[in-house]
Amino acid sequence: MAERRVLLMQEIHPDGVKMLEEAEIKVDVAESLDEEYLLKKVMDYDGIIVRVHPYIGRSIIEAAKRCVVIGKHGALVDNVDLEAANAYRIPVVYAPGSNANAVAEHTVCLMMAVAKHIWDAGVQLRVYGNYNYRLQVKSFELSGKTLGVIGLGNIGRKVARICKYGFSMKVIGYDPYINEELLRQEGLEDTELVGDLEYLLRNADFITIHIPATKENEKFIGERELSMMKRNAIIVNTARGSVIDQRALYRALRDGVIAGAGMDVFDPEPPSVDEPILTLDNVVATPHMAAHTEETLSNMAKMVCKNVISVLRGERPDNIANPEIWDIRRLPQ
């Protein structure tokens, strides 16, 4: 294979870079994510690998005259314009399932942190020396409670398993596309699958969201949905910020409509320093870091790089988001 060049929009785990270099692929890292810079930079590369930022839209794809593969360093392809990639016959590869363990663990961590007042109690003790804060709040147990899972993909099912087997929680699942055989294979056959989201919202003590950031899912949870939840309910979002109406969530938390929230994602990102929801004691927030474990970053990088290498070698990749264009794909120059 002639020398190929791949542009990383941001640094990835060294294990992935090593794979590319061992395949005799030259690797560069973009010095800026400014679009004007990228429009010139991408012209000279056979492949592009992008993390969460920037958005790889039509203008960048059109400018990438040599590009024959776009790799998404992630489990979802939500910041690549697939329609534009199809128009220019460029395969888009990604790393589905690579972050399931990390994000599921982080989700349960947020559930527990909110229920146990880890954040606000810690602030009271560390900052104010308020040891008696323990007498001013009541925490909740997860054991025996009802978990509502919105989206039963790799991460949603992993969360369900942890909560079912670790805390004896009853699981209610909402996912119009779920493969029920997968639930059976993974020991989740007694999950109460519902086609009525309202039922889940009204009956779950903890609700966790695992759906992609599509146009249809924008503000999937809004003021109406929040009003259906129990007053002592806790909601966790480790999916994407846009699937919850953040202003409505703030009001619901401020006014006691629900008890608390765990958030790893925001709308927009990064949140502003004066974001109102971050001022609330019943919110535990982390900076979109659920998947940022050593293991996941290594696995994700290796998985997407393996797919990129396959395309550059003319081999069909294991994970392609737009398989319909494979047979008519743009070929390396």
Sign of CA dihedral 82, 83, 85, 86: positive
8-state DSSP, 316: P
Contact 291, 99 (CB under 8 A): yes
Burial (CB count <10 Å: 0-12, 13-18, 19+), residue 18 = middle
CA distances from 264 to 18, 107, 167, 238 (A): 30, 9, 22, 5
Contact 159, 108 (CB under 8 A): yes
Token pair recorded at residue 212? 């992609």
Contact 45, 71 (CB under 8 A): no
Residues assigned a catalytic role: 240, 269, 288
- Cα angle value 325/74/210 (rounded, 5°): 105
